[in-house]
Amino acid sequence: MSSFYYFGFGSNLLTKRIHIQNPSAVRVGPGKLEDYQLDFYTSSRTWHGAPATIVPKPGSSVYGAIWQIDNKDMKSLDDQEGVSLGVYVPITVPVLAMNDGKRIECRAYHLAKQPIGDVKCMKPEEIPYNRQPSKTYLKTMVKGAIESCLPADYVQWLRSIKHNGKIVELLENKLDLHDTCL
């Protein structure tokens, strides 16, 4: 196989973002990862806030974009996710393709340092400041979720996530986020 499937649930929901380092990425459609929950943890110098991760949680779901990417871009994707630096770890997860109901084995990434304890069970408005994504990161996710045709209630839930208010102007311009409402 000359390509692989990738499940993007954070900034890589947005085409402009994923294409910065992975120009071969083609969106297959929206996907649903069952028995995982979206969370935010640690800190990103690039995004000025906590990046997204997925954590196992029975009964929960994470929506995202399924991408098909040339094998030649796998190292680029790993580099983007900081795999060699120990930031994210690649995993294989079964994602339900919402267009046709088939399960697709996808590469995904979760933070090497995962959230611990009950913090991952908090409501979006209760996320402590040190666990909040930047406003720019959250806008990237929301714009990508809309572009990826994720369910409207999930997009609304993303909009309800508390952010730290920080704006990364360079990325706002590069990703054309100025018109994205939270």
Give catalytic residue positions.
81
Q: Is 38 helix (H, G, I), strand (E, B) or coil?
A: strand
**Which of helix, strand or coil describes residue 99?**
coil
Q: Looking at the DSSP assignment, which residues form a beta bridge with residue 53?
A: 39
User: What is the Cα 93 distance to its own chain's centre?
Assistant: 14
Phi-psi region of 33 (alpha: psi -120 to 50; beta: other; left: phi over 0): beta
Positive/negative CA dihedral, 134, 138, 143, 147: positive
Closest by CA to 47, choosing from 157, 132, 149, is 132
Residue 78, number of CB atoms within 10 A of its CB: 15
Can you read off the two tokens belonging to residue 102? 């088939």
